[in-house]
Amino acid sequence: MTITAADIAAMDAADPLAKFRDEFVIRDGLIYLDGNSLGVLPKRTIARMNTTINEEWAQGLITSWVGADWVNAPTRIGDKIARLLGAEPGEIIAGESTSINIFKALTAALSLQEGRKVLLTETGNFPTDNYMMQGLARFSGGSLECREVAPEDVLDALDEDVAVLLLTQVHYKTSRIRDMAEVTAKAHAKGVLTVWDLSHSSGAIEVDLNGAEADFAVGCGYKFLNGGPGAPGFLFAAKRHHDAQPVLSGWFGHAAPFDFDGEFKPASGIDRFQCGTPPVLGLAALEEGVDIMLEADMAKVRAKSVQLTELFVTLMEERCGEFGFEFICPRDPAQRGSQVAFAHPHAYEMMQALKARDVVGDFRAPNIMRFGVTPLYLAFADIAEAVERLRAICVNAEWDREEYRTKAAVT
């Protein structure tokens, strides 16, 4: 059955999230399928940054730490993110990069796992997760072992030596969703604590951290949460783990930072996972992105995401079936996050040619074209048009040009 223009128009007419598109700055003609890498700019963020810079910083200066409540931004925004992820107030702190939060979460978990030496993860994960783990093992001078096994071997590798299992819930290339509750239960059965990387989950799929009995989690603010380039990430620690020892024991994690005590005494709650002075400008931008996400019902976001990715896959089969694209994500939408990806021998050049036609996705080495699907600002018609433009560059081999072969620093 062929999908018609009337079908697409009907999908857009029935879309309960269509009104959100107007919240974002999206230039005419652009089809942006990279919100899983960097989300677009919310219009309200412009006003917020103006206030934060011109009033709170320029006029209020240091008084704004209290007067504009800068000091509580990490927990205030953390509590908002908690509402998106099935966590309680006081379980999430916003701030730092995801990489740093991975380090904090791993070391916090280790502090609760005396006698266990192994850090377990899967190969092919987003590299920073594995790099942070490898660095920690090296820093331990041999007392910790970093064990990386094939994705299908992770559950079998859980044993009494493993202290912590680090996994990404939605895989950055294949979009495969791990069952957080099932994997966590299997880890717990062997006494293993879990750290979940939710970079491609937060704002993209429904997450229930406490329902899954997750121990620790981290995630990015600049992807589906639309927090801006290099936005602070977040760290979740389940309340039962709030006696974990922070290794990055900076003064903002102290019970009373302004006592300027000579000895580190960790704060009692999630604050102990803070380290240095919070990045106020980044947090202000992140808060606006999170607020918009909270206004949209996550169940509706997920439902539209599934419809959008299904449409993408179906149209790729119908309109680009003869050009050799291999769909590398799960075919079952329940197992797939909010992105689709296709392997192709000329993926890099094709992505450049597509960008020249104002469709922005990204390339992931060695041969993957990845398209993020963001229900708050994409219409069904955008997906149809993106597939048409891809077809156009394939039909006349428009991608096969010298200028599309040079690799950029960021892909």
Ligand X SMILES: Cc1ncc(COP(=O)(O)O)c(C=O)c1O
Q: Which of 6-14, 23-31, 94-102, 148-156 is the region at the interface with ligand X (rule: CB under 6 A)?
A: 94-102
Q: Which of 32, 70, 172, 224 binds ligand X (CB under 6 A)?
A: 172
Question: Rounded to the nearest whole angstrom, what is the least distance from the CB of residue 230 to ligand X in the complex?
Answer: 8
Report the sign of the C-alpha dihedral through residues 28, 30, 36, 38, in that order. Answer: negative
d(CA 49, CA 55): 10
Helix axes of 298-320 and 380-395: crossing angle, nearest 10 degrees: 20
99 interacts with ligand X by CB under 6 A: yes
Our answer to whether residue 197 is catalytic in this structure is yes
Task: Quote the tokens at residue 309.
Answer: 């990715």
Taking Cα atoms as reference points, which of 115, 32, 133, 50 lies closest to residue 360?
A: 32
Q: Which of 52, 64, 75, 98 binds ligand X (CB under 6 A)?
A: 98
Total residues interacting with ligand X, rule: CB under 6 A: 13
Residue 102 or residue 270: which is nearer to ligand X going by CB? 102
Taking Cα atoms as reference points, which of 4, 74, 1, 34 lies closest to residue 374?
A: 34
As a 3-state breakdown, the chain gives helix, strand, coil percent values, each rounded to 5, of 45, 15, 40
Q: Which of 40-48, 194-202, 390-398, 400-408 is the region at the interface with ligand X (rule: CB under 6 A)?
A: 194-202
Q: Which of 19-27, 153-161, 195-203, 351-359 is the region at the interface with ligand X (rule: CB under 6 A)?
A: 195-203
Catalytic position from the list 104, 116, 173, 223: 223
d(CA 276, CA 253): 8
Is 384 strand, coil or helix? helix
Q: Which of 64, 175, 199, 305 binds ligand X (CB under 6 A)?
A: 199
134 interacts with ligand X by CB under 6 A: no
Residue 20 or residue 222: which is nearer to ligand X going by CB? 222
Q: Which of 168, 175, 194, 274 binds ligand X (CB under 6 A)?
A: 168
Question: Rounded to the nearest whole angstrom, what is the least distance from the CB of residue 194 to ligand X in the complex?
Answer: 15
Task: Quote the tokens at residue 66.
Answer: 């209290």
The string of DSSP codes covering 31-44 is EE--TTTSPPPBHH
126 interacts with ligand X by CB under 6 A: yes
Our answer to whether residue 252 is catalytic in this structure is no
Residues 361 to 390: which contact ligand X by CB under 6 A?
A: none
Our answer to whether residue 222 is catalytic in this structure is yes
Q: Which of 17, 84, 220, 384 binds ligand X (CB under 6 A)?
A: 220
Q: Which of 233, 253, 289, 375 binds ligand X (CB under 6 A)?
A: 233
Residue 37 or residue 184: which is nearer to ligand X going by CB? 37
Burial of 402 (0-12, 13-18, 19+ CB in 10 A): exposed
97 interacts with ligand X by CB under 6 A: yes
DSSP 322: G
Q: Which residues, 6 or more positions from 212, have their beta carbon under 8 angstroms from its beta carbon? A: 86, 180, 181, 184
105 interacts with ligand X by CB under 6 A: no
| Residue whose structure tokens are 């021998």 | 345
Our answer to whether residue 21 is catalytic in this structure is no
Residue 233 or residue 278: which is nearer to ligand X going by CB? 233
Q: Which of 126-134, 270-278, 279-287, 308-316 is the region at the interface with ligand X (rule: CB under 6 A)?
A: 126-134
Report the side by side order of strands in the sheet with 339-343. 326-327, 339-343, 368-372, 362-364
Taking Cα atoms as reference points, which of 373, 253, 355 lies closest to residue 309?
A: 373
Our answer to whether residue 264 is catalytic in this structure is no
227 interacts with ligand X by CB under 6 A: no
The residues annotated with a catalytic role in the active site are: 126, 197, 222-223, 370
Q: Which residues bind ligand X (CB under 6 A)?
A: 97-99, 126, 128-129, 168, 172, 197, 199-200, 220, 233
